[in-house]
Amino acid sequence: MGKLFISVLNMSITASYVILIVIIIRLLLKKAPKVISYALWSVVAFRLLIPFSFESVFSLMPRKTNVVPISNEIIYQQSLQIDNGIRVLDSITSEPLHAPHTDAGISSLQIFVEFGAHIWMLGIIILLVYSFVSILVLKRQLKDAQLIEKSIFEARNLQTPFVLGLIRPKIYLPAGLNDDERDYILLHEQIHIRRKDHIIKMLAFFVLCIHWFNPLVWVAYLIMSIDMELSCDERVLKDMNEEIKKPYANSLLSLATGRHILNGSPIAFGEGNVKRRIINVLNYKKPAFWVTLVSVLLAVVIGIGLLANPQDKVYENSNGDNDSGARIQADTTKSGSQESAGRVAADMGNIIENFSEIDNYIKDYTPDVSYEEDLELGQRAYIIHGTYDLNGDGEADEINAVLKADNEASSLIEVNGMKVTLELYNPTGLIKIIDLDSRDNYTEVAVFDDGPSGDPTITFLRYDGRKLYTIGSIDRYALMDGEGKFISWFHLANNFKPQFFSAWGEFKNNEYVITNHDVEQYIGKTYEVDGSGFFVPLDFNPEVYFEHVVWDSENLREFKATKIKLLDIHIRPDDRTLNWFYVELPDGEKGLLYFWIGD
């Protein structure tokens, strides 16, 4: 239920922005027919009910900060992210929700979300029960109502007319109305039924029940109800003539006295806000054609702009064109973002396992590498070129890359002239072509970054023949459950899986010693030649050790694992060695693990 609550919260935040815009536009349409303002609330309903929308060059929604959708596994991530397509609201709502970097922090966050979800559901139940009881009470009070003609009843204990029912709505009128008043009020209620307002009002109430925690949704519900009544009054005046304004207003005034018996039910609604309606009726004047036309055009433009999500940034291809074939999604997710890695792990539960299979490595792009320039701290930029059929259409795709270790968005991957920029800390000069999912025809480009302080990141990009885009990244390592769902990062999992971690260390006296300040543990045991692996010094630099691994699943006593695969990634062997491992535990948990051996 926590996942559903997070999804509703995202929609509610997005809709809040739309509500504010509609309220402002409604003021600008003050002289326009009220039915136009009434129609604009359908955009709010869409944003409150539908968690996705189409993309358009024209959009009034602020641009997204990234192209990775929010994961339903958010409550298991290191930090809670609200991703609603509005950059300002994303930062405001996500910043205070960051969880502490501890296992307890994750548990507290999970408990907080689940507790909030139960409170949310309790509020929905209370509102629905209140509505149901109101209907029962109302029907009991109407048992003596007299049928005066088909589907029209008259009751002596009423002070205001209303419509009751959904499939076969009935009109209830107060007793004692004169003929003119009855004609006006009856026409008003019949217009409600003809426009299906009784159904719209009920649906609006259920939307309100779902988003009851958002005060702006309550405001929207009340204003929408006013616009419904005002537009219905204007339709009555239009169908009859403007000369009935005063008698029609008098009939509204006569109904404003006393106390009606309605209990706020969404199915039976009466004619509220009489003062506002009387003023609107008396001031009504058929708008000029150009006023109506401009108002309709403005409402349509505003509606489309609020329905559409903004398109991501468009890059030009190498020929300077920006046709549809050159449109890509611009990735602004920083390389090294743990949030993006968590989303990939949660949304694509098998990505870790598929990636870790050695036969998924199809091709290395290490030849044709040249150094473009020297950067700070002796880092260099790599230029890489290669060809491979990435989208399965049988034609080789041209792949070019410039990888810079400058911690800026200056690195880029280019496929057939389409570019995606990346922010890299310490690129290895290594690109691999990987098949993340054998069920599709795509193969992905994997870019390896040693990261800051030896924290590696792998970023995955996909080319589908029309666009090139980032599909996610693996930052450090992720712990998965038996179903491939994201649990936590290994460095947050030390308390309950102490044998499952990656650490800084050094090789001394035939033992690999952990030197982290936050991990007080030895990998354990002396590595033997016939054991899980051994270290040998490099011939050209005996001070630096190189790890030669002959991992065997039968010799993994220190890991208590049932399966382990060496991915055999060596980064700068003259400086240090980094190896990634795929590990499965007996209880089905799985994930990536790496050892970094330095001097």
Three-state secondary structure of 285-342: CCCCHHHHHHHHHHHHHHHHHHHCEECCCCCCCCCCCCCHHHCCCCCCCCCCCHHHHH
Residue 388: its pLDDT value, please?
A: 86
Distance CA 239, CA 230 (A): 14
Conformational region of residue 541, where left means phi above 0, alpha means psi within -120 to 50, and beta covers everything else: beta
CA-based torsion, 42, 44, 48, 50: positive or negative:
positive
% of the chain exceeding 90 in pLDDT:
12
Which regions of 495-556 does DSSP assign to beta strands (E)?
505-508, 511-514, 533-538, 541-549
User: Maximum CA pair distance of the chain?
Assistant: 109
Secondary element (H or E) of residue 510: none
Band of residue 379 on the pLDDT scale cut at 50, 70, 90:
low
Band of residue 282 on the pLDDT scale cut at 50, 70, 90:
low
Chain-centroid distance of CA 570 in Å reads 36
> In this structure, what token pair is assigned to residue 512?
């690999």
The whole-number average pLDDT for the span 486-507 is: 34
Band of residue 253 on the pLDDT scale cut at 50, 70, 90:
low
Using the predicted structure, report yes or no on whether residue 426 has a pLDDT greater than 70. Answer: yes
% of the chain exceeding 70 in pLDDT:
48
The larger pLDDT score, comparing residue 411 to residue 493, is at: 411
Q: How many CB atoms lie within 10 A of CB 137?
A: 14
Residue carrying structure tokens 């990775």 = 68
Band of residue 116 on the pLDDT scale cut at 50, 70, 90:
confident
Distance CA 165, CA 197 (A): 11
Q: Render pLDDT for 506-540 as a digit per residue (tens, 0 to 9).
A: 444 444 443 432 222 223 323 332 333 333 333 44
Distance CA 126, CA 121 (A): 9
Using the predicted structure, report yes or no on whether residue 276 has a pLDDT greater than 80. Answer: no
- Cβ partners under 8 Å of residue 523, min gap 6: 503, 505, 511, 512, 513, 514, 558
Residue carrying structure tokens 């008043």 = 181
Secondary element (H or E) of residue 468: strand 468-475
Q: Render pLDDT for 178-192 as a digit per residue (tens, 0 to 9).
A: 777 777 788 888 888
Band of residue 280 on the pLDDT scale cut at 50, 70, 90:
low
Its pTM stands at: 0.50
Q: Render pLDDT for 471-484 as a digit per residue (tens, 0 to 9).
A: 766 655 444 443 44
Domain ranges of the chain: 2-306, 324-476, 490-597
Q: Between vectors from CA 316 to CA 314 and to CA 318, what angle results, nearest 5°?
A: 155
Among 323, 335, 307, 318, residue whose Cα is nearest residue 66: 335
Estimate the share of the chain in helix, then strand, then coil, as percent rounded to the nearest 5. Answer: 40, 25, 40
The whole-number average pLDDT for the span 24-46 is: 89
- Per-residue b or e along 349-371, where b marks 16 or more CB atoms closer than 10 Å to that residue's CB: bbbbbbbbeeebbeeebeeeeee
Half-sphere exposure of residue 520: CA atoms within 13 angstroms, side-chain side: 0
Residue 70: its pLDDT value, please?
A: 35
